[in-house]
Amino acid sequence: MNSTSHDAISVSGFVTTSWTLVRQAAQGGEQHSRDAWETLARRYWRPLYLHCRQRGDPPDVAEDRVQGFFAALLDGEGLAGVMEDDPSLQDGAQPRLFRSWLRASMDNFRRDEHRRSHALKRRPAQGFDPRDVSQLEADMAAHAAEPMARSFDRQWASCVLDQAREILRDRYLARSNVERFDIFWLHLLPGVAVSDRSAHAAALGLGPEAFANAVSKFRREYGKAIDDVVRETTANESDVKSEILRLIEALA
């Protein structure tokens, strides 16, 4: 996507603050940019796929459009203006959220069949896992009456949680503590029996109180990982708090 097509996916409306992941995608070196785009694709292709399906695209077309959308952004200047201030913003005005910008950009992309077809000739975006499509189709059928914006946000929230879990697991793996991660993770899920808690505590050589404290610490670490993931595509602390609240609402 060259500069002449840049207006199809407009990026005005962002301010120069944090945006760590977006900044890497927009301005990083080649490998860092690709890694950042892979992370963004993993986080957003599921909600964007459902968004296209709810707009009326058949499953294969929705897959192609999401693939083409990320491929076009990766190949061109899709985020070149992310770090530019929008002069239309008044002092103190809040920048738009990245997920909202992304959804609107997909709508623009869908309306431009010529540019979409051109983008599809390029390599597919990394992070898109077609194995999840059947699950997404089932999810859409189960929430047929759900507004599109809520479906998008719910899938976005689910992807944020998935990536936070991956981040935390990698941290435990780096410390050769993946067994502790697997056990502690079970205790963040509902329905763990008292007998299981006792057995898991014994397996780790911990007493009941020490085990309970360790699980509480693990829960806080997971919360911090969620915060870290959200922070990558937000501009300030106020937006981080707003997005965390939106995430909780989306999963309610």
Cβ(77)–Cβ(1) below 8 Å: yes
Predicted local confidence at residue 115, as pLDDT = 55
Q: Which residues, 6 or more positions from 161, have their beta carbon under 8 angstroms from its beta carbon? A: 226, 247, 251
Cβ(92)–Cβ(146) below 8 Å: no
Cβ(36)–Cβ(20) below 8 Å: no
Angstrom distance (rounded) from CA 167 to CA 201: 24
Q: Give me the sign of the Cα torsion angle 201, 207, 212, 215.
A: negative
Cβ(247)–Cβ(164) below 8 Å: no
- Whether the pLDDT of residue 210 is over 70: the answer is yes
Going by pLDDT thresholds of 50, 70 and 90, the confidence category of residue 63 is: confident
- Whether the pLDDT of residue 81 is over 80: the answer is no
- Whether the pLDDT of residue 173 is over 90: the answer is yes
Q: Give me the sign of the Cα torsion angle 164, 170, 171, 172.
A: positive
Lowest mean pLDDT among 13-27, 92-106, 161-175: 13-27
Cβ(151)–Cβ(143) below 8 Å: yes
Who has greater pLDDT, 125 or 11?
A: 125
The stretch 37-46 carries a mean pLDDT of 82
Q: Which two tokens stand for residue 6?
A: 């840049």
Lowest mean pLDDT among 11-20, 72-81, 158-167, 171-180: 11-20
- Whether the pLDDT of residue 122 is over 50: the answer is no
How many other β-carbons are positioned within 10 Å of the β-carbon of residue 24?
A: 20
How many other β-carbons are positioned within 10 Å of the β-carbon of residue 91?
A: 4
Predicted local confidence at residue 55, as pLDDT = 87
The stretch 111-120 carries a mean pLDDT of 58
- Whether the pLDDT of residue 170 is over 70: the answer is yes
